[in-house]
């Protein structure tokens, strides 16, 4: 008789239960808002030496308490992110603390700070995976994006050391103005270095701290709707998949006419986000004051069980929103959501013209008759 069997994440009994009611599965833990890079497009990269930001960071004791509470609520998976998580001197302690609680741990890093200790740590105690962003395929473009001399060499060194050690690494890229010319080379770089995964993201959102100067920089890095469509069409596999899923991306049923709820995504259903300063948010982009719960003043259970339902029940009376985004049939092709609306306008329910333009361009493109043979391969 077989008493022991492996279980895949997708087979977890939790999924069936989640169909019936909200069940916690995962959470993101931003352990710092600081970063050693200064990426032009980034929404959370305070300077590495920012002492005020550092003083607000969760202590190891606070992280331990939050992790205990998350595990008690049933959390299975945690994503460590930032800022750059490896900037914290106590990173290894935090990582092991989470592992020892039986959590699967994933990590977002730029890989530039990988040291011997990290390699030894990840070899002995493997992460679920490490996701690294490739900002450029050459020193020039990479460092134009990161704003830091020497970062390309540090990145390639860190990445190669992780790969040589057999650590599971996934690569991704942001498609922005500064590296647009190099995206085919970035895609090739990613595919040479990892087999199972590569994705790029052209949709930049604004900063958590509302820094106007930096937000202007992010806007200047955004691609035009036409460029985004060209990019998507150039990835044959991805674009064919979009076209195949056309009915699930564009559908009259998406128009929630008569419904004034703000949130129609899955946020807060199976996951949440913990900010570097102990703020509990329903997703990493949601920074509106009225949607944030301070874990330094309360408990995770209260946040999860009482605060989340209140946020999910928030409604809009703005006719411009109800007549547009709320009743939009291509909303699944759009970056728009209440969180991004707040970052752009300070309101949770304002349409954003740039997002509309991108969504319309993407919708037009995927509804075209496929002419894949004419596309340049990315």
Partner 1 sequence: MDITLDQTCVTSEDVVARIIEDELIIVPLVSGIGDMDDELYTMNETGRAIWSRLTGEKTLRGIANDLAEEFSAPQEVIEKDLLGLITELVRRKMVVVQ
Q: Where does this chain bind partner 1 (CB under 8 A)?
A: 1-9, 12-14, 17, 23, 71, 74, 76, 99-104, 123-126, 128-129, 168
Q: Which of 23/88 has CB closer to partner 1?
A: 23
Question: At closest approach, how far in Å is the CB of 73 from partner 1?
Answer: 11
* CB 228 within 8 Å of CB 202: yes
Question: At closest approach, how far in Å is the CB of 237 from partner 1?
Answer: 24
Q: Which of 8/247 has CB closer to partner 1?
A: 8
Q: Which of 180/197 has CB closer to partner 1?
A: 197
Q: Which of 58/103 has CB closer to partner 1?
A: 103
Strand partners, 26: 77, 271
Peptide bond into 83 cis (omega under 30): yes
Question: At closest approach, how far in Å is the CB of 16 from partner 1?
Answer: 9
Distance of CA 236 to the CA centre of its chain: 24
Quickly list DSSP for 212-274: HHHHHHHHHHPPPHHHHHHHHHHSHHHHHHHHHTHHHHS-GGG--TT--BS--S-TTTSEEEE
Strand partners, 279: 294
- List Cα–Cα distances, 303 to 26, 63, 79, 128, 256, in angstroms: 15, 16, 19, 27, 28
Question: At closest approach, how far in Å is the CB of 305 from partner 1?
Answer: 17
Q: Which of 16/320 has CB closer to partner 1?
A: 16
d(CA 98, CA 77): 9
- DSSP 8-state symbol, 305: I
d(CA 206, CA 29): 20
Indicate the burial class of 124 (C-beta count within 10 angstroms; 0-12, 13-18, 19 or more): exposed
Question: At closest approach, how far in Å is the CB of 8 from partner 1?
Answer: 8
Question: At closest approach, how far in Å is the CB of 196 from partner 1?
Answer: 12
Question: At closest approach, how far in Å is the CB of 232 from partner 1?
Answer: 30
- What phi and psi, each to the nearest 5 degrees, are found at residue 238? -65, -45
Question: At closest approach, how far in Å is the CB of 309 from partner 1?
Answer: 21
User: Quick check: helix, strand or coil at residue 204?
Assistant: coil
Q: Which of 124/289 has CB closer to partner 1?
A: 124
d(CA 352, CA 365): 20
Indicate the burial class of 46 (C-beta count within 10 angstroms; 0-12, 13-18, 19 or more): buried
Q: Which of 129/302 has CB closer to partner 1?
A: 129
Q: Which of 174/300 has CB closer to partner 1?
A: 300
């Amino acid at each position: 008789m077989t008493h022991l069997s492996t279980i895949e994440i997708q087979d977890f009994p939790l999924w069936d239960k989640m169909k019936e009611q909200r069940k916690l599965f995962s959470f993101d833990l931003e352990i710092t808002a600081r970063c050693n890079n200064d990426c032009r497009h980034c929404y959370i990269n305070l300077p590495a030496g920012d002492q005020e930001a550092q003083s607000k960071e969760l202590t190891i004791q606070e992280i331990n308490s939050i992790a205990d509470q998350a595990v008690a609520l049933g959390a299975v998976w945690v994503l460590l992110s930032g800022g750059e998580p490896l900037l914290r001197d106590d990173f290894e302690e935090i990582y092991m603390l989470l592992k020892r609680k039986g959590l699967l741990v994933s990590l977002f890093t730029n890989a530039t700070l990988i040291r011997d200790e990290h390699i030894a740590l990840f070899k002995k105690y493997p992460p679920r995976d490490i996701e690294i962003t490739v900002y450029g395929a050459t020193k020039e473009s990479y460092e134009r994006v990161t704003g830091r001399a020497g970062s390309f060499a540090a990145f390639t060194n860190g990445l190669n050391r992780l790969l040589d050690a057999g650590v599971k690494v996934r690569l991704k890229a942001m498609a922005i103005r500064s590296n647009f010319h190099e995206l085919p080379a970035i895609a090739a770089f990613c595919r040479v270095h990892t087999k199972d995964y590569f994705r790029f993201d052209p949709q930049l959102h604004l900063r958590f701290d509302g820094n106007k100067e930096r937000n202007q920089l992010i806007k200047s890095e955004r691609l035009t709707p036409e460029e985004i469509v060209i990019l998507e069409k150039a990835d044959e596999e991805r674009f064919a998949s979009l076209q195949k899923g056309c009915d699930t991306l564009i559908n009259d049923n998406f128009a929630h006419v008569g419904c004034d709820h703000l949130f129609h995504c899955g946020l807060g259903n199976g996951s949440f986000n913990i900010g570097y300063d102990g703020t509990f948010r329903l997703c990493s982009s949601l920074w509106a004051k009225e949607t944030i719960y301070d874990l330094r003043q309360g408990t995770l259970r209260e946040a999860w069980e009482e605060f989340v339902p209140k946020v999910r029940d928030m409604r809009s009376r703005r006719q411009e929103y109800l007549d547009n985004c709320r009743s939009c049939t291509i909303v699944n092709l759009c970056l728009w959501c209440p969180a991004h609306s707040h970052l752009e306008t300070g309101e949770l329910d304002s349409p954003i013209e740039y997002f509309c333009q991108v969504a319309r361009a993407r919708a037009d493109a995927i509804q075209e008759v496929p002419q894949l043979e004419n596309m340049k391969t990315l």
